[in-house]
Amino acid sequence: MKIFKIEENDANQRLDKFLKKLFPNATRSLIYKLNRKDKIKVKDIFERENKFKKKDNEYKLQIGDEIKIFLSDNEFKELSEEKIEILEKSEKFDKKDIVFEDGFLLVVNKNSGINVHSGDYKTKETNIIQQVQDYLGEKLNSLTFKPSLIHRIDRDTSGILMIAKKKNILIQLVKDFKEHKKLEKTYYTIVLGRLSRKTGTIKKSLKRIENAKAENKVQVANDGQTAISHFSLLKEHVIPANLFSNPKEIIISEVEVKIETGRMHQIRVHMASIGNPILGDKIYGDQKMNSFFAKNFGLKRQALHSWKIKFFHYGRNKKMELTANLKPDLKNFLENISKIEIKD
C-alpha cells in the first residue's frame, strides 16, 4: 500500500488521467478495474469526514488531496516503472548553457544539432527533454508532471529554449506563445547578400508543402497562415574576389529579426523570399554558397540563433528579458570572416 499527497503540479486533473500517468504501463481498462475493485481511495481535502473513500474516475484532484493505492510493491513497480535511458557524460546537459533557472522555469541556450523532443526528426538521438530530466533528477516534486517545452526551435537552430517546471506556468506561457501576447522574440542570423534596405518588415503568409521531399518544408502562399517578421541590419561583410577561387565579391549580412508570429521556419522562408537566404540552410538556402562557407570557414549549420526574449513571468509576477550568447561556432565563423574581409 502507498499513500500520495497531491501537490500543485498534479492537481486539477481527473483521477483516471492521474492514474494513467502514474502507471504508464497499465491499460486504461486496468485503471478502471483498480478503481472498481476499491484498490484506489481518495481523501478529499474538502470533505468534513476526512476519510479515504472511493471516487469516480471523473473526480478532479485538488491540492492537498491524498490518494491511497492498495497494491504490493512489486505490482506498483511493474505498473509505474519507466525505462529511463542513462545518458553518457558526452550527452549530458552542460550547466554553462543555463540562461536562467528558478522554481518555475529553466531557460537554456540550446546547441545546434540537438532535437528538442524525442518525436522530432524520427531519430533516437539524445534530445533536450532527456537532458533536462537527467539534469533535474529528483528536484521535481511531482508524481505525474515532467519538465515540458513551452515552445520549440529547429534542430539546427541554437539559442533560447524555455522549459516549464510547473504545470500552471506551462499552460500560461504556452498560451502567450500561441497568441503572441506579452512576449517578444528576437533572433540573430547571418544571411547571404546585401539587404535591399537596412530595416524592413516582411508580411508573407506561409503554408506547409504537402508531400515535399524535405520533411516539413514551408512556402510563401496567399492561402497560408499570416506571418510577420521585422528585420534590421547589424553589420555587413564583404569577402574579396579571387579568394578561395571565388570569381567575385561575396557579401554577407548579420541581421536581427523580431517576429510577431511564430510559424514553422518563418525566418528562414521570409529571408529567402527577399533574396537573402540564411547561410547554411539546407532547405531554403543557396547550396553552392553553403558548401563554400562550410569548406572554407567551417560553417556546418544554419546561421540562426534564438537570441533574446521578453516575456511575462507569471511565477514572479513581472516582465523579464533574457539573452543567449552566440555559440562558439558562430563566433569563430565571424572571427574568420573578419580576418579576410574588405574593410571600409
Split into its structural domains, the chain has a count of 2
Q: How far apart are CA 40 and CA 15, in angstroms?
A: 10
Mean pLDDT of 28-44: 92
> 60 - beta bridge partners?
14
Longest Cα–Cα distance of the chain, Å, equals 87
310 plus 184 within the same structural domain: yes
C-alpha cell at 116: 528538442
- Domain stop point among 40, 58, 80: 80
72 plus 114 within the same structural domain: no
Task: Return the CATH number at 11.
Answer: 3.10.290.10
248 plus 208 within the same structural domain: yes
110 plus 178 within the same structural domain: yes
Looking at residue 149, its pLDDT comes to 93
- Domain stop point among 51, 80, 109: 80
Looking at residue 141, its pLDDT comes to 61
257 plus 139 within the same structural domain: yes
The string of pLDDT tens digits covering residues 71-119 is 988 888 888 876 555 556 556 778 899 999 999 999 999 999 988 866 5
256 plus 331 within the same structural domain: yes
The string of pLDDT tens digits covering residues 230-283 is 999 999 999 998 877 777 899 999 999 999 999 999 999 999 999 999 999 999
Does the pLDDT at position 344 exceed 70?
no
Task: Return the CATH number at 166.
Answer: 3.30.2350.10
Residue 21, domain extent: 2-80
Give Cβ neighbours of residue 151 (< 8 Å, ≥ 6 apart). 161, 162, 174, 177, 262
Name the band, by pLDDT with cuts 50, 70 and 90, for residue 7. Answer: confident
The string of pLDDT tens digits covering residues 154-185 is 999 999 999 999 989 999 999 999 888 889 99
> Helix (H, G, I), strand (E, B), or coil: what is residue 19?
helix
C-alpha cell at 149: 517545452
- Domain stop point among 80, 111, 145: 80
Most confident segment among 8-22, 71-85, 132-146, 264-278:
264-278
25 plus 172 within the same structural domain: no
101 plus 205 within the same structural domain: yes
